[in-house]
Amino acid sequence: MIKGPVLTLAGKHQTDYDQNRENRLDGKTVAITGATDGIGLATAIECAQRGSHLILLSRNQEKMISTKQLIEKKVNDVEIDMFRLDLADLNSVKSAADYLIKNGFKINILVLNAGLAYYSPELLYGINSVINHFSHFLLLHLLVDHLVGSEQEPARVVSLASEAHILANGSGKFWKTYESEKIAAEILGTGSDISGAYAESKLANILHMKSMAERHPLIKFVSVHPGVVDTSFADKWKSGIGNKCSLCLVRMLSFCWKPCVRSPAQGCQTSIYCICEREIIQGEYYADNKPKSIRIRGSKDLTVIKNELYELSIAFVKRFLVPK
């Protein structure tokens, strides 16, 4: 629905970052999940244009090959590796991480970008909690000691969160598994409550980066809100879960917000800022190239939620972790 070129009100967007590409990534390796579409694809192109080696981590082999060809057409002499990684399958995440480690890939910047906006209670947990948070949690947990950086140029991890986190309350109901479909459906609802599942998963992305920042001070961890971006993101929600009524609502909203929507190239600017800018603040949540405050519904303490989420996430991925 909102696919295709969209004019922004401002033309040249106010968040455009370093348009002359003075901040370079030559000699650096950037690994990106979900680089086959939308903001991830735009991020990959921009990083390649700044000289980086790319590692594409995506679930669809054919789409990855066409993405590689597309980037090679745009950028001369770019080096691109690709690995299949399906964030809906923790085994696939573990295999990809093991392969990268065993084969000595030296990642300087990891962009945890892939995400979707629907969930399936019949899977006994919100599927987007798995894709948007738990799988990225596992991936980062496995790779974190292998990221390459120095005191002057620390390794970086950038997680694509969202301002939608303001609809979350941190109760954690979307972060748990349930004993039966019936119980899951009773607690999580029918699946049309996009705001709950998605918002909680995006709050998880922000808190995940804060937890990692505390545990690994030599690596920079930040989360990002990219703005409202013209990708096929909402389409996937519509085809995945939306009923007729919510479809109409999304179409109306899409029409109204169209003039303010960013292109993927504009939507990746805050990610690129966090990848390239020398002084970024450890553990911060960024929007429009600036730190932004975190707000949630209800009165739960963010530090408590952060710690609960970390423990829950460790328990969720435990079977894939080899004791150190």
Ligand X SMILES: NC(=O)c1ccc[n+]([C@@H]2O[C@H](COP(=O)([O-])OP(=O)(O)OC[C@H]3O[C@@H](n4cnc5c(N)ncnc54)[C@H](OP(=O)(O)O)[C@@H]3O)[C@@H](O)[C@H]2O)c1
State the residues that interact with ligand X by CB under 6 A. Answer: 33-34, 36-40, 58-60, 63, 85-88, 113-116, 131, 160, 162, 225-226, 228-229, 231-233, 236
The answer to whether the CB of 267 falls within 8 A of the CB of 260 is no
The nearest distance, CB 150 to ligand X, in angstroms, is 29
Among residues 192 and 239, whose Cβ is nearest to ligand X?
A: 239
Shortest Å, Cβ 225 to ligand X: 6
Minimum separation from the CB atom of position 112 to ligand X (A)? 8
- Separation CA 50–CA 244 (nearest Å): 44
Residue 133 half-sphere exposure, CB side, CA atoms within 13 Å?
34
Of residues 154 and 224, the one with the C-beta less far from ligand X: 224
Strand order in the sheet with 156-160: 80-84, 53-58, 29-33, 109-112, 156-160, 220-225, 285-287, 290-291
Measured from the CB of residue 13, what is the shortest distance to ligand X in angstroms? 14
Give 20's contacts (C-beta < 8 A, 6+ positions apart). Answer: none
Tokens of 77: 């002499």
Rounded to 10°, the helix 61-74/38-49 angle is 40
Alpha-helix residue ranges (DSSP H) falling in 157-243: 181-188, 194-215, 233-240
Query: Least CB distance from residue 99 to ligand X, whole Å?
Result: 15
Q: What one-letter code names the amino acid at 15?
A: T
Quote the CA–CA distance of 265 and 69 in Å, as a whole number. Answer: 18
Decide whether 38 or 154 has the Cβ nearer to ligand X.
38
- Give min distance, CB of 324 to ligand X, in A: 27
What tokens does 321 get? 């972790």
* 52 or 67: CB nearest ligand X: 67
Smallest distance, Å, CB 297 to ligand X?
Answer: 18
Contact predicate 122/42, CB 8 Å: no
SS3 297: coil
DSSP state of 298: S
